[in-house]
Amino acid sequence: MLSTGVDVPEILNLVFFRKVGSKTLLQQMLGRGTRISPGLIDGKDKKFFTVFDYTHNFDNLDFDLPSSNTPLHQRIFDFKVLVVKLLQDGQFATDENVALREKLVKELLDDIKHIDRDHFAVRDQHLPFVDRYSNPKRFECLSEEDIFDLNVHIAPFVKTADKDVQAQRFDGLMYSLEALVLMNAGRKKQIHDLRAKAFNIRKDGAGIAKVRDKMTLINSIIESEDLENWSAARFEYVREELRGLVSYISKKEQFYYSKLSDEILSVEEVDLDLEVFGSVEYRNKVESLISKYSDNEVIQKIHHNEILSSDDVAVLQDILCKEVGGTPELFKEAFGNKTLVRAVRECVGLDSETVSKLFSDFIMTHELDDRIYQFLEAVMNNLVKNGILLVTQLNTFPFVRDGRTMENTFGKKMEYLREIREILDDINVRGGVQIVDGRYVE
How confident is the model over 32-77, as pLDDT tens digits? 777 777 777 777 777 777 887 777 777 666 565 544 456 788 889 9
> Which of 39-53, 134-148, 163-177, 262-276 has the least mean pLDDT?
262-276
Check residue 252 and report its DSSP letter.
Answer: S
> Which of 32-41, 98-107, 165-174 has the least mean pLDDT?
32-41
- Adjacent-strand bridge partners of 168: none
Task: Give the pLDDT confidence score for residue 234 in this predicted structure.
Answer: 95
Q: Does 23 have pLDDT greater than 70?
A: no
Q: Does 155 have pLDDT greater than 80?
A: yes
Task: Give the pLDDT confidence score for residue 2 in this predicted structure.
Answer: 57
Confidence of residue 390 (pLDDT cuts 50, 70, 90): confident
Separation CA 37–CA 46 (nearest Å): 5
Residues 31 and 55 sit within 8 Å (Cβ to Cβ):
no
Residues 6+ apart with CB under 8 A from 73: 158, 159, 160, 162, 168
C-alpha dihedral sign at 238, 240, 243, 245: negative
> Which of 17-21, 101-105, 377-381, 413-417 has the least mean pLDDT?
17-21
Q: Does 30 have pLDDT greater than 90?
A: no
What one-letter code names the amino acid at 329? E
Separation CA 99–CA 115 (nearest Å): 25
> Which of 13-17, 32-36, 93-97, 339-343 has the least mean pLDDT?
32-36
The predicted-structure confidence for 284-298, as pLDDT tens digits, reads as follows: 778 878 877 888 898
Task: Give the pLDDT confidence score for residue 288 in this predicted structure.
Answer: 79
Q: Rounded mean pLDDT of the chain?
A: 82
Give the residue, 289 or 114, on which the prediction is more confident: 114
Task: Give the pLDDT confidence score for residue 347 in this predicted structure.
Answer: 85
Separation CA 73–CA 88 (nearest Å): 23
Quote the Cα angle for 285-290-292, to 5°. Answer: 90
Listed residue (106, 75, 92, 102) closest to 232, CA to CA: 92
The predicted-structure confidence for 219-259, as pLDDT tens digits, reads as follows: 999 998 889 999 999 999 999 999 999 988 875 444 444 44
Listed residue (6, 273, 237) closest to 100, CA to CA: 237
Task: Give the pLDDT confidence score for residue 269 in this predicted structure.
Answer: 54
Task: Give the pLDDT confidence score for residue 257 in this predicted structure.
Answer: 46
For residues 255-265, average pLDDT: 50
pTM over 0.85: no
Separation CA 234–CA 178 (nearest Å): 9
Task: Give the pLDDT confidence score for residue 277 in this predicted structure.
Answer: 39
Task: Give the pLDDT confidence score for residue 67 in this predicted structure.
Answer: 44
Sequence spans of domains, the chain = 13-60, 72-157, 165-248, 279-348, 352-440
For residues 202-226, average pLDDT: 90
Check residue 41 and report its DSSP letter.
Answer: B
Q: Does 20 have pLDDT greater than 70?
A: yes
Separation CA 337–CA 331 (nearest Å): 9
The predicted-structure confidence for 330-361, as pLDDT tens digits, reads as follows: 788 888 888 889 988 988 889 888 998 898 88
Task: Give the pLDDT confidence score for residue 109 in this predicted structure.
Answer: 96
Task: Give the pLDDT confidence score for residue 242 in this predicted structure.
Answer: 94
Confidence of residue 4 (pLDDT cuts 50, 70, 90): low
Separation CA 286–CA 269 (nearest Å): 29
> Which of 122-126, 155-159, 176-180 has the least mean pLDDT?
122-126
Task: Give the pLDDT confidence score for residue 260 in this predicted structure.
Answer: 46
Quote the percentage of the chain above a pLDDT of 90: 29
Give the residue, 144 or 243, on which the prediction is more confident: 243
- SS3 of 397, please? coil
Give the residue, 279 or 46, on which the prediction is more confident: 46
Task: Give the pLDDT confidence score for residue 220 in this predicted structure.
Answer: 94
What one-letter code names the amino acid at 312? D
